[in-house]
């Protein structure tokens, strides 16, 4: 018997385990393959804030998460002696047209109001150019650039390894890799594993990425799907660059400078695909665009091509919290493109709800219940 069963050893499941350990819950985390086998084990690791305009609860949640992540990581790095490859290196976005500069100037003012916390002010600076020669092609930035000082990056695999290392020393959490949940009885509180064994639990967190949706659908018993996979491809290059350079972002293309000269380029966004794990010409196109935008990486060899499936919930926002029909079952999924910046806060809210029984400050559009209501509405059409 476990107080808590966590299904999935990606960024969501690992943070859930960290929060459960802090709450003193006897916890088993099961991962069907190995830690980081899913979307979390990629290469990009951009921590990108939402736009600073039209502020709302969802943006505030992510803003606070992006700030607190820095402190969380620093504490875990100190404790484990491992590096998560985190740096608040900021982000630059080229402004190709004059009207984009006009909009960016408005956002500069919005950031002054909305991007403040505890005496810290983050900026959406509008500048004529970015000075680090060769990092951004000036031709792409005819109307200037935005330099955002809130964005950061983390190295996904070292980050997961650090969380796992912390958990392996914890008092309350046991990690079992190579163990897949195949069935959940939400009433009895019992999970059945692929090897036929079972585990009774007080609560269960479904943090198994794109595979969380079929579990939720099975429990919800409404026709339709609570979420879908969106494939993404990315690549890792070996360059000779300053790791402090900001993330370059434009039109879905990211170029992320990591430590030791590594540079990640991403990402495609594919709603239909035949092979979840393959990379193809779409990644070649992306690499060509990246080399055009960032001259410093033109001659950098590609050392890895990678693909993964992002979990996108029916309501597009993350799906977290108690299932409306099954009080023992909690979702922690649907982070889509922003999981790395918010997983710790989502996990804290979900574990808080398990321990305290009440809503823990999740924006309503994130709640599992809201997604299920949408599913029911779709089914009734
Ligand atoms: C190309 C690409 C680039 C991206 N870039 C960024 C980025 O820059 N910043 C960002 O924040 N996000 C980014 N994302 C999105 C991010 O990677 C995902 O949102 C995040 O990894 C999802 O984490 P997760 O823990 O929910 O799922 P996963 O990491 O997929 O973890 C789920 C785990 O559950 C396990 N599992 C599945 N079924 C079972 C079962 N039945 N029993 C036990 N275990 C099971 C899987 O093996 C897997 O390890 C990117 C995604 C892609 C594909």
- The CATH number that applies at residue 373 is 3.50.50.60
Q: Residues 141, 213: one domain?
A: no
Q: How many Å lie between the centroid of ligand 1 and the Cα of residue 333? A: 9
72 in a domain, yes or no? no
Q: Which residue has its alpha carbon closest to ligand 1 atom 2?
A: 232
57 in a domain, yes or no? no
Which residues form the domain of 283?
77-152+229-311
Q: Which residue has the tokens 């916390």?
A: 117
Q: Residues 145, 233: one domain?
A: yes
How confident is the model over 176-203, as a mean pLDDT? 98
Predicted local confidence at residue 264, as pLDDT? 98
Q: Which residue has its alpha carbon closest to ligand 1 atom 20?
A: 40
Q: Residues 135, 184: one domain?
A: no
56 in a domain, yes or no? no
Q: Residues 218, 249: one domain?
A: no
Q: Residues 215, 301: one domain?
A: no
| Mutation pick for ligand 1 pocket among 5, 6, 7, 8 (CB with most ligand atoms within 8 Å) | 8
Tokens of 26: 């006897």
pTM: 0.98
Q: Residues 139, 189: one domain?
A: no
How confident is the model over 320-327, as a mean pLDDT? 97
Burial class for 243, CB neighbours closer than 10 Å (0-12, 13-18, 19+): middle
Q: Residues 359, 371: one domain?
A: yes
Q: Report the C-alpha gap between 83 and 76 in whole angstroms.
A: 9
Statement: residue 359 has pLDDT above 80: no
Statement: residue 133 has pLDDT above 90: no
- The answer, yes or no, to whether any atom of ligand 1 lies below 6 A from the CB of 204, is no
161 in a domain, yes or no? yes
Element housing 28 (H / E): strand 27-31
Which residues, including other chains, have CB under 8 Å from residue 2's CB and lie 6 or more apart?
26, 27, 28, 199, 200, 201, 202
63 in a domain, yes or no? no
55 in a domain, yes or no? no
- The answer, yes or no, to whether any atom of ligand 1 lies below 6 A from the CB of 40, is yes
- The answer, yes or no, to whether any atom of ligand 1 lies below 6 A from the CB of 266, is yes
DSSP state of 247: E
- The answer, yes or no, to whether any atom of ligand 1 lies below 6 A from the CB of 335, is yes
Q: Residues 238, 375: one domain?
A: no
Predicted local confidence at residue 361, as pLDDT? 86
Predicted local confidence at residue 100, as pLDDT? 97
Q: Residues 176, 245: one domain?
A: no
Cβ proximity of 244 and 260 under 8 Å: no
Instruction: Go through the chain and tell me how many residues it has.
Output: 381
- Among the candidates 311, 346, 372, a domain finishes at 311
User: How many domains does the chain contain in total?
Assistant: 2
341 in a domain, yes or no? yes
Condensed to tens digits (0 to 9), the pLDDT of residues 18-65 reads 999 999 999 999 999 999 999 999 999 999 999 999 999 999 999 999
The count of C-alpha atoms lying within 13 angstroms of the C-alpha of 20, restricted to the half-sphere facing its C-beta, is 28
Q: Residues 203, 339: one domain?
A: yes
Of the pLDDT bands very low, low, confident and very high (cuts 50, 70, 90), residue 357 is: confident
- Among the candidates 295, 311, 327, a domain finishes at 311
Q: Find the CATH number of the domain harbouring 92.
A: 3.30.9.10
Q: Residues 95, 235: one domain?
A: yes
Q: How many Å lie between the centroid of ligand 1 and the Cα of residue 313? A: 13
- Among the candidates 254, 285, 311, a domain finishes at 311
54 in a domain, yes or no? no
Q: How many Å lie between the centroid of ligand 1 and the Cα of residue 8? A: 9
């Amino acid at each position: 018997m476990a107080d808590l069963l966590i299904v999935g050893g990606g960024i969501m499941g690992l943070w859930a385990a960290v929060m459960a350990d802090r709450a003193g819950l006897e916890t088993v985390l099961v991962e069907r393959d190995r830690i980081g086998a899913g979307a979390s084990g990629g290469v990009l690791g951009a921590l990108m804030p939402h736009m600073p305009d039209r502020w709302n609860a969802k943006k505030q949640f992510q803003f606070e998460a992006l700030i607190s992540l820095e402190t969380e990581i620093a504490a875990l790095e100190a404790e484990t002696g491992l590096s998560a490859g985190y740096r608040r290196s900021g982000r630059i976005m080229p402004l190709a047209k004059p009207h984009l500069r006009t909009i960016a100037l408005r956002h500069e003012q919005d950031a002054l109001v909305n991007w403040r916390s505890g005496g810290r002010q983050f900026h959406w600076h509008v500048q004529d150019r970015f000075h680090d020669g060769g990092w951004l092609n000036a031709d792409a930035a005819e109307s200037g650039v935005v330099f955002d000082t809130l964005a950061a990056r983390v190295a996904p695999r070292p980050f997961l390894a650090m969380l796992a290392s912390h958990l392996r020393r914890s008092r309350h959490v046991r990690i079992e890799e190579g163990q897949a949940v195949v069935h959940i009885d939400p009433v009895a509180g019992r999970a059945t594993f692929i090897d036929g064994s079972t585990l009774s639990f007080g609560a269960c967190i479904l943090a198994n990425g794109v595979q969380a949706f079929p579990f939720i659908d099975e429990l919800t018993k409404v026709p339709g799907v609570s979420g879908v996979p969106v494939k993404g491809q990315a690549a890792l290059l070996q360059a000779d660059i300053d790791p402090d350079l900001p993330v370059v972002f434009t039109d879905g293309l990211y170029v992320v400078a990591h430590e030791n000269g590594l540079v990640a380029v991403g990402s495609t966004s594919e709603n239909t695909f035949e092979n979840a794990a393959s990379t193809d010409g779409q990644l070649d196109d992306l690499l060509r665009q990246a080399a055009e935008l960032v001259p410093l990486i033109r001659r950098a060899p590609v050392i890895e091509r990678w693909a993964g499936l992002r979990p996108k919930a029916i309501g597009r926002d993350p799906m977290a919290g108690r299932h409306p029909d099954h009080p023992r079952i909690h979702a922690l999924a649907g982070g889509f493109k922003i999981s790395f910046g918010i997983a710790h806060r989502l996990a804290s809210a979900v574990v808080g709800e398990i321990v305290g029984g009440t809503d823990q400050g999740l924006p309503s559009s994130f709640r599992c219940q809201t997604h299920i209501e949408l599913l029911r509405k779709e089914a009734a059409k």
